[in-house]
Amino acid sequence: MPTNTAAWFVAKQDKLEVKPAPYTAPGAAEIVVRNHAVAINPVDWAIPILGDVMFPWIKCPTVLGADLAGEVAEVGKDVTRFNVGDRVVGHAVGLNKNRNNAAEGAFQIYSVVSAHMASPIPDVLPYESAAVLPLGLSTAACGLFQKDFLALQHPSANPRPTGKSLLIWGGATSVGVNAIQLAVAAGYEVFTTSSPHNFDYLRSLGASEVFDYHGQTVVNDIIASLKGKTIAGALAIATGSTGPCLDVVYASQGDKFVAIAGAPVALSELGSGGTLQILLRMAPKMLGSNISSGLKSFTRGIRTKFIFGSSLVDNEVGPAIYVDFLPRALAEGRYIAAPPALVVGKGLEAIQTGFEVQQKGMSAQKVVVSL
Ligand SMILES: NC(=O)c1ccc[n+]([C@@H]2O[C@H](COP(=O)([O-])OP(=O)(O)OC[C@H]3O[C@@H](n4cnc5c(N)ncnc54)[C@H](OP(=O)(O)O)[C@@H]3O)[C@@H](O)[C@H]2O)c1
């Protein structure tokens, strides 16, 4: 049996501890991946800061991390899509309430992954580049395709044009670069926002129009561009983007739904201190933003719903993305592993460094650690 090591989340406010971990064999519908690269998301460093507030069911010690790429090391008895040695990317869902399982965290050498949340990757795609995909891709897919969210047509190789436009606020986020590609592959025209230096990149991923979110007139500019079009709703990804998305959806013709990925307050603003101190500091802004968005959505008849980016593991969207869409789309070059990886080091010890780099803020890049 292989020897495993993990970067353990041992206690709130503490740094991760690299030490031995059990090797867990796969269940019938699972694979074990020998990780060669993992990527870091804001939630990975926010959980150690906020402790029980975000995922109250988590029991320490556990293993964090959602994004992994590596080689299949063992295959469950019912899995026919993978063989030992296959190169894969996978979404580790150990933090989901119904899993709550250290063996399914990404920040270790061997992770257990549901086979339908993993995709083969082309030989030319480095593990570091592939590892950027999972949580960004999954969160975008949850908001775009789940039946209780925007419920869009699914992506395919030859999408039927829907004639509808979609607003994605925060196109240069890790979630946004995936949302743009998925929506275009599903037959929608994409309007998005970013800083000007990312305009060309987002257009290269398929966005039709990109707007500078810093501009005073951005909401009115988007509304003007959408005049005469029918929208399929909006995906609010960037911090504070629910309000502007509600304004655009209200003023436009089409579906009255805003799927929300981003919190009302940036996780980078959490700062330090105990959970209570942090909450007291953030509460006025969070409350103000939630009340304002709640009022706008209620009075204007626009539905909103907050996304949990790994809920697709339990419904038809997970297999639609990781089994039916992604493998061929990556192999045929129709889908780009985005955003580009910023590799900050090698080894599990480098994950803590990665937290610090990510916390300072990213622009169309994702922090990755090689293993
Ligand atoms: N609900 C969930 O399950 C879930 C899952 C994953 C992430 N999230 C949340 O989704 C958000 C994005 O996460 P991520 O990892 O994708 O972020 P990220 O890649 O770290 O986002 C960085 C990008 O945010 C963009 N940005 C910042 N403020 C903006 C604004 N006001 N309008 C438009 N774009 C803005 C910047 O674009 P420019 O560089 O172009 O300025 C930057 O490129 C975070 O709030 C995160 O917590 C939620």
pLDDT given at position 263: 82
pLDDT digits (tens, 9 = 90+) for 333-369: 999 999 999 999 999 999 999 999 999 999 999 999 9
The residue to mutate among 175, 219, 242, having the most atoms of ligand 1 within 8 angstroms of its beta carbon, is 175
Q: Is 271's pLDDT higher than 70? A: no
Which position has the higher pLDDT, 52 or 34? 34
The protein residue whose alpha carbon is closest to atom 18 in ligand 1 is 173
In Å, how far are 21, 148, 167, 319 from 187, measured between CA atoms?
A: 45, 19, 14, 19
Indicate whether 197 pLDDT > 90: yes
33 CB-near residues (< 8 Å, 6+ apart)? 68, 69, 70, 71, 72, 73, 88, 90, 110, 111, 113, 118
What average pLDDT is seen over the chain?
95
| Local confidence band at 306 (pLDDT 50, 70, 90 cut-offs) | very high
Residue type (1 letter), 254? G
Q: Which of 6-10, 272-276, 315-319 is predicted with the least confidence, judged by mean pLDDT?
A: 272-276
Residue 174 Cα, ligand 1 centroid: separation in angstroms?
A: 7
Q: Which two tokens stand for residue 26?
A: 């796969």
pLDDT of residue 220: 98
Nearest ligand 1 atom to alpha carbon 365 = 19
Q: What confidence score (pLDDT) does residue 53 get?
A: 75
What's residue 270's pLDDT? 67
Selection from 351, 308, 311 nearest residue 64 by Cα:
351
Residue pointed to by tokens 């009340």: 291
Is the alpha carbon torsion for 19, 25, 28, 29 positive or negative? positive
> Can you give the pLDDT at residue 333?
97
Average confidence (pLDDT) over 85-104: 97
- Stretch among 3-17, 25-39, 76-90, 278-292 having the lowest mean pLDDT: 278-292
Q: Write out the E strands in 56-140.
A: 62-63, 67-75, 87-91, 110-114, 118-120
pLDDT for residue 89 is more than 80 = yes
Give the residues across from 370 on adjacent strands. 37, 346
Q: Residues of the chain with pLDDT > 70: what percent? A: 98
Q: Is 193 in the pocket of ligand 1 (CB under 6 A)?
A: yes
Q: What is 137-306's CATH number, 3.40.50.300, 3.40.50.720, 3.90.850.10, 3.40.50.10320?
A: 3.40.50.720
The percent of residues in the chain predicted with pLDDT above 90, rounded, is 87
Q: What is the pLDDT of residue 1?
A: 86
Evaluate if residue 195 carries a pLDDT over 90. Answer: yes
For ligand 1, atom 43, name the residue with the nearest CA. Answer: 363
> Are residues 278 and 49 in contact, defined by beta-carbon separation less than 8 angstroms?
yes
Is residue 156's pLDDT more than 80? Answer: yes
Nearest to 149 by CA among 362, 317, 332: 317
Buried b (16+ CB within 10 A) or exposed e, 280-317: eebeeeeeebeeebeebbeeeebebeebebbbbbeeeb
The reply to whether ligand 1 has any atom less than 6 angstroms from the CB of 241 is: yes
**Per residue in 202-261, pLDDT tens?**
999 999 999 999 999 999 999 999 999 999 999 999 999 999 999 999 999 999 999 999
Q: Is 136 in the pocket of ligand 1 (CB under 6 A)?
A: yes
CATH entry 3.90.180.10 includes domain 4-133+337-370: yes
- Report the distance separating Cα 341 and Cα 293, nearest Å: 34
User: pTM of the prediction?
Assistant: 0.96
pLDDT tens for residues 312-335? 999 999 999 999 999 999 999 999
Residue nearest to atom 48 of ligand 1 (CA): 261
The interaxial angle of helices 242-251 and 275-300, nearest 10 deg, is 0
**For residues 166-201, b (16+ Cβ closer than 10 Å) or e, as one string?**
bbbbbbbbbbbbbbbbbbbbbbbbbbbbbeeebbeb
The closest-lying atom of ligand 1 relative to the alpha carbon of residue 267 is 47
Of 264, 266, 277, the C-alpha closest to 359 is: 266
Is the CB of 138 inside a 6 Å radius of any atom of ligand 1?
A: no
Domain boundaries, the chain: 4-133+337-370, 137-306
Q: Is a pLDDT exceeding 70 seen at residue 22? A: yes
For residues 100 and 59, is the Cβ–Cβ distance under 8 A?
yes
Residue 276 is predicted with a pLDDT of 72
- 8 C-alpha vs ligand 1 centroid, how far in Å? 26
Higher per-residue pLDDT: 336 or 289: 336
